[in-house]
Amino acid sequence: MTRTFDLEVNGVAYPLTIDPGRSLLSVLRGEIGLTGTKEGCDDCECGACMVLIDGQPVNSCSLLAAQAEGRSVTTIEGIIDGDRLSEIQAGLLDEGGVQCGFCTPGMIISATALFARNPDPTPDEIRVGLSGNLCRCTGYGRIIEALAVDGVGRADRPAESGS
């Protein structure tokens, strides 16, 4: 049995005909080709698969794609600001908050949601905001420090310099 519906991702409507039991993560990566969203635990533990749904961070491994019908999904590919890194992306890059990068898309999604509701979070508020995201590389210190830098909002960095 399949189900046919449109899924809105990063402002684009993708027509899908899929097994209704498939996760949003599986569909984003396998059907739509947006592989910036990472698969870590596939068990709602690590945050590597985080996306925004109607602006709220959600582990896409924990949601059926069909449950996102009629909602607005934003992946890491939709975070970039035109040809510029987002303020958060540039901040992490500048301050050494990226190592292997596997956790980075999910971290950026969570940080984007955090800064949207609290533009000037304290380090403790950042820790809470990222508490659903695991990193095996940095030990979190550089990530928290990067996001706590005043004006993490340096927006004007060309996208091709890395993300």
> Rule CB under 6 A: which residues touch ligand FES?
39-42, 44-49, 59, 61, 98-104, 135-138
Minimum distance, C-beta of residue 136 to ligand FES, in the bound complex (Å): 4
Minimum distance, C-beta of residue 8 to ligand FES, in the bound complex (Å): 21
Length of the chain: 163
Nearer residue to ligand FES within complex by CB, 42 or 81: 42
Nearer residue to ligand FES within complex by CB, 39 or 81: 39
Minimum distance, C-beta of residue 44 to ligand FES, in the bound complex (Å): 5
Integer CA distances (angstroms), 156 to 43, 49, 84, in order: 36, 27, 6
- 3-state SS track over 35-78: CCCCCCCCCCCCCCCEEEECCEEEEHHHCEHHHHCCCEEECHHH
Report how far residue 125's alpha carbon sits from residue 148's, in angstroms, rounded to the nearest whole number.
10
Integer CA distances (angstroms), 11 to 40, 72, 125, in order: 25, 7, 29
Nearer residue to ligand FES within complex by CB, 117 or 136: 136
Nearer residue to ligand FES within complex by CB, 43 or 83: 43
Minimum distance, C-beta of residue 35 to ligand FES, in the bound complex (Å): 13
